[in-house]
Amino acid sequence: MRYLSTRGHPDRKGFCDILLEGLAPDGGLYLPEHYPRVDPATLGRWRATYQTQGYAALAYEVLSLYIDDIPSADLRDLCDRTYTEAVFGTRAIVPLKQLEQPEVAGQPTPLYLEALSNGPTLAFKDMAMQLLGHLFEYELARRGEQLNILGATSGDTGSAAEYAMRGKKGVRVFMTSPDGRMSPFQQAQMFSLMDDNIHNIAIEGVFDDCQDIVKAVSNDLAFKRQYKIGTVNSINWARLLAQVVYYFAGYFQATSADTEQVSFAVPSGNFGNVCAGHVARMMGLPISRLVVATNENDVLDEFFRTGVYRVRGSADTHETSSPSMDISKASNFERFVFDLLGRDGARVRALFGEGLSREGRFDLQADPLFVQAGPRYGFASGRSSHADRLATIRDTHARLGLMIDTHTADGLKVAREQLQPGVPMIVLETALPIKFAATLVEALGLEPERPPAFIGIEALPKRVTHMAADAMAVKAYIQRHCA
Ligand X SMILES: *Cc1c(COP(=O)(O)O)cnc(C)c1O
Residues in contact with ligand X by CB under 6 A are 123, 125, 156, 234, 267-273, 324-325, 407, 430-431
Which residue number, 149 or 431, has a Cβ lying nearer to ligand X? 431
Give min distance, CB of 268 to ligand X, in A: 4
Q: Residue 120 or residue 170: which is nearer to ligand X going by CB?
A: 120
When the beta carbons of 156 and 162 are compared against ligand X, the nearer one is 156
237 vs 271 by CB, closer to ligand X: 271
The set of residues, in sequence order, having a beta carbon less than 8 Å from that of 128 and lying 6+ positions away, is 238, 239, 240, 242, 243
CB 345 within 8 A of CB 7: yes
Q: What is the DSSP string of 215-282?
A: HHHHH-HHHHHHTTEE---TT-HHHHHHHHHHHHHHHHHH-SSTT--EEEEEE-SSSHHHHHHHHHHH
Give the pairing type, strands 147-152 and 465-467. Answer: unpaired
**What residues act catalytically?**
125
- Minimum separation from the CB atom of position 454 to ligand X (A): 16
**Minimum distance between the CB of residue 11 and ligand X, rounded to whole angstroms?**
26
Contact present, 348 and 8 (Cβ < 8 Å)? yes
Three-state DSSP at 285 gives coil
**CA dist., res. 222 & res. 428, Å (int):** 42
* Residue whose CB is less far from ligand X, 351 or 428: 428
- Measured CA distances, 288 to 1, 267, 284, 424 (Å): 27, 17, 11, 9
- What does DSSP assign to residue 421? T
Whole-angstrom Cα distance, residue 363 to residue 306? 8
Q: Which is nearer to ligand X, 19 or 427 (CB)?
A: 427
Q: Are 478 and 472 in contact (CB under 8 A)?
A: no
What is the amino acid identity at position 474?
V
Residue 426, SS3 per DSSP: strand
> Closer to ligand X at the Cβ: 96 or 327?
327
Minimum separation from the CB atom of position 86 to ligand X (A): 22
Of 137 and 410, which CB lies nearer to ligand X in the complex structure? 410
Q: How far is the CB of 388 from ligand X (least distance, A)?
A: 15
- Rounded-to-integer distance, Cα 393 and Cα 409, Å: 6
Min dist. Cβ of residue 188 to ligand X (A): 17
* Residue burial 261-286, b: 16+ Cβ < 10 Å; e: rest: bbbbbbbbbbbbbbbbbbbbbbbbbb
Closest CB 322 distance from ligand X, rounded Å = 7
Q: In terms of Cα–Cα distance, which of 217, 153, 222, 163 is closest to 183?
A: 153
Render the burial of 439-471: b for 16+ CB within 10 Å, e for the rest: bbeebbeeebebeeebeeeeeeeeebeebebeb
| Backbone φ, ψ for residue 109 (5° rounding) | -130, 100
- Rounded to whole angstroms, the Cα distance separating 201 from 248 reads 38
Strand partners, 5: 30
Closest contact distance (angstroms) between CB of 336 and ligand X is 12
